[in-house]
A and B are shown apart, each in its own frame.
Chain A
Amino acid sequence: MSNSQTTTAGIGAGPRSALSAWAHHHRQAALISVDKLLREPIASFLTVLVIGVALAVPSLGLSLAATVQGEISQIDAPPQLSVLLGQDASLEDADKLRTEILRKPGIADVKVVDRDSALADFVSATGLESLVQKLNRNPLPHTLWVYPSANTRLAGIEQLQVDLGSLAGVSQVILDSRWLERLNAFTDLLRTIAMVLGVVMSVGVVLTLGNTLRLGIEARRDEIVVIKLIGGGNAFARRPFLYTGLLSGALGGVFGGLLSGAALLMLDGPVKRLFDLYDQAPSVPSLILSELLVLISIGAILGLISAWYSVQLHLTRIKPR
């Protein structure tokens, strides 16, 4: 043993200020976390993969729903309403009604289709001229084609249908929007499923990552006990685990973004083919930086929640004996 007269007493200055020490501890904890992630690359990658998939699935669903819904709103403006007048209504009555309807909010245009033109169109479209000639009179009423404004949503159009039906002289209002309703309902369903999946998978991420961190806490039980015995509190012991959760979640967000971006690229063709049927040529948006940042943030927050839940449940219970 050394005979040096040096003792530990009186050497060096005292500890840093509380704020400086706090910042230093955080820096150290972050470095320890990075080191531990790199030391176990396969286990770390699998954890990140699970988080990435969990984030990519709802993200993809929401992106698709937003794309489809956006396109629906642009399909040849909103559907047209056919307002059939009573048989006794004259063309003058139709013109008056047109003026009245045009004064309503949310109306882009109203066209009068007189019963003779309508019958001629019918004959031209169906080729049933001989049958029509046998009729004593034209059975078609004067009709108004009502075009709602382009930004009117389906719910507003349905309300307009009710309003127009209550006008004097109107016999029936027809709105041919079943296909649009179905598509809207489908995209609503897709969005809801994506959100439910998002919640379920977030809980899955918290539990999975929490369990991984629990194993990490158990593996470092001796170290935690020693730290607590020599004056390190729960905060000092838990910081590396919090950073591990934060980093794993953020990396999972990056991975989820890449997965989601790749899937969107693959879906671009099928979605285009679907909307070609409605004379639309949408482009499935590729992943943009802001969305990637949102995914990274969500991943980091979920990772932090997992880590917090795990250390509160397991680390704080470790008492030196």
Chain B
Amino acid sequence: MDLVFDRVNKRYEHREALSDLSFEMRSGEMAFLTGHSGAGKSTLLRLLLLLDRASSGEVSVGGRPLSKVKESRIAKYRQDFGVVFQDHKLLADRSVYHNVALPLEIAGFTKRDIDRRVRAALDKVGLLDRERAAPDALSGGEQQRIGIARAVVARPKILIADEPTGNLDPQLSAEIMGLFSAFNSVGVTVIVASHDLALISRMSQRILTLDRGRLITLGGVSRGINE
């Protein structure tokens, strides 16, 4: 699913979060979104998820201008996305299995399909044996992997991760990034917002660098940072 930002501005009351932002991502591409805190990374992701609307300009996903998506259709639109959050956002009163199953329940999958997909997703992140556990019983790294399993279980067209390694040690962070690359390799468009330049530099992927709402690096690959 192609993404297009065309001269997008996002203005909050007293500040400009995004300014004249234009870039494109092709379907199946992976990119890192980086920049300092307040650079506009989260705002960009919020516009993609229709948590906010652009003040001007147009964001298009799969050729569909988001300004045309009605409020009543936003929930359905978001089903095309898998989202990984820095704080995992797992539901404490549901088991690991039922946390991962939630997007499939929302999408209306049958019990049998839910079971097969949840197990496959948990297997992929290496936590199949923890399916009955409560999220609170897991380590931070395990919780993040559960968050990833939940994000990919409904086979999203676009996977978004907002600071997914923020609280993890370097080894776990590398494993998480490896998972994103694996999903990208089967055709999922992946956008990872991170300010961990050391980690990004080890991945050979495109980088979009934001600074005070403006795009200052476009189209390069992270290898370039080291070079």
Q: Does A7 belong to the interface (CB within 8 Å)?
A: yes
B79 touching A2, Cβ below 8 Å: no
Report whether A4 and B89 are in contact in the complex, using a CB–CB cutoff of 8 Å.
Answer: no
Do residues A8 and B51 form an inter-chain contact, with CB atoms below 8 A? no
Residues in A with CB closer than 8 Å to B51 are: 319-321
Q: How far is the CA of A7 from the CA of B124 in the complex (A)?
A: 7
Q: Give the contact-size bracket for chain B.
A: 35 or more
Asked if A21 is at the interface (CB within 8 A of a chain B CB), the reply is yes
B14 an interface residue at 8 Å Cβ cutoff?
no
The minimal Cβ–Cβ distance linking A235 to chain B, given in whole angstroms, is: 8
Q: Which residues of A contact B15 (CB under 8 A)?
A: none
- B49 CB contacts on chain A under 8 angstroms: 229, 320
A1 to chain B: closest residue by CB? B126
Question: Are B112 and A12 interface neighbours, CB within 8 A?
Answer: yes
Contact A16 B108 (CB under 8 A): yes
Q: Are B106 and A231 in contact (CB under 8 A)?
A: yes
**Residue of A11, A14, A230 ringed by the most chain B CB atoms within 10 A:** A230
B62 to chain A, nearest CB (A): 15
- Interface residues of B, dominant DSSP: helix
Task: Flag A5-28 by CB within 8 Å of B: 1 or 0 each.
Answer: 011111111111010111011001
Minimum CB–CB distance from B61 to chain A (whole Å) comes to 14
Query: Are A226 and B108 also in contact (CB < 8 A) when A6-B123, A8-B153 are?
Result: no
The answer to whether B106 and A230 have CB atoms under 8 Å apart is: yes
What is the distance, in angstroms, from A230's C-beta to the closest C-beta of chain B?
Answer: 5
Please encode chain B, from 36 to 57, with 1 for each CB lying within 8 Å of some chain A CB and 0 for all others: 0000000000000101000000
Instruction: Report the minimum CB–CB distance from A71 to chain B (whole Å).
Output: 56
Contact of B124 among A8, A10, A20 (CB under 8 A): A8
**B102 & A2 in contact (Cβ 8 Å cutoff):** no
Contact A231 B109 (CB under 8 A): no
**In the complex, are the beta carbons of B83 and A230 less than 8 A apart?**
yes
> Does any Cβ of B come within 8 Å of A228's Cβ?
yes
State whether A236 and B75 are in contact (beta carbons under 8 Å apart), knowing that A15-B107, A15-B109, A230-B83 are contacts in the complex.
Answer: yes
22 contacts between A and B (CB under 8 A): A1-B126, A1-B175, A2-B124, A6-B124, A7-B182, A7-B186, A11-B113, A12-B112, A13-B113, A18-B108, A21-B107, A223-B91, A229-B78, A230-B78, A230-B83, A230-B150, A231-B78, A231-B103, A231-B154, A233-B75, A236-B75, A236-B106
5 pairs of A and B residues whose beta carbons are closest in the complex: A21-B108, A233-B75, A1-B126, A231-B79, A12-B113
Given contacts A7-B120, A8-B152, 15 further A-B contacts (CB under 8 A): A1-B125, A6-B120, A7-B124, A9-B155, A11-B120, A16-B109, A16-B110, A225-B89, A226-B89, A226-B91, A230-B150, A231-B79, A232-B106, A236-B75, A321-B51
Write the residues of chain B forming the contact surface with A, with a CB cutoff of 8 angstroms.
49, 51, 72, 74-76, 78-79, 81, 83, 85, 89, 91, 93, 102-103, 105-110, 112-113, 116-117, 120-121, 123-126, 128, 145, 150, 152-155, 175, 179, 182-183, 186-188
Using a CB–CB cutoff of 8 Å, the interface residues on chain A facing chain B are: 1-2, 4, 6-16, 18, 20-22, 24-25, 28, 222-223, 225-234, 236, 319-321
